[in-house]
Amino acid sequence: MTKIDPFTGEEFIPKKISQRFANKENRIKFNNDKAKKIRIEQAPIINPLKLNSKIIKELLGNNMEIILNKEFLRGKGFDFTISSGSELVNGKIYPLIFFYLIINDYSDNEVKIMLWL
């Protein structure tokens, strides 16, 4: 009984019943292509989140919280329009960048960033 390789479309005789690909190289390329498509689809959200997280981590250092100027953060490339989630704190909902809480109503031109575990 033969099968069709989903990556190349070639016909092959499987060595095992569960074998889907003609060889391991085709399986690896197929799965890499699949993962690449997912990364490309998620890039508009994941990349800014990663950058925001990197900026916060760099500025926070060993501190648990910091207060920063919003324009300073924007100058570093921080995007206030994107978050990975939200958290209800004292009756208000605040955005999260992974495990950092962004208190954006701290003042008109400042934001408080806290490590939120």
Q: Going residue by residue through the chain (117 aa), what tens digit of pLDDT does each one get?
A: 899 999 999 999 999 999 999 999 999 999 999 999 999 999 999 999 999 999 999 999 999 999 999 999 999 999 999 999 999 999 999 999 999 999 988 788 999 999 998
| Helices of type H across the chain | 24-60, 70-76
pLDDT on residue 49 = 97
The answer to whether 23 touches 8, Cβ cutoff 8 Å, is: no
CA distances from 59 to 27, 32, 92 (A): 42, 35, 25
pLDDT on residue 108 = 85
Helices (H) and strands (E) in the chain, counts: 2, 7
pLDDT on residue 58 = 97
The span from the CA of 113 to the CA of 52, in Å, is 11
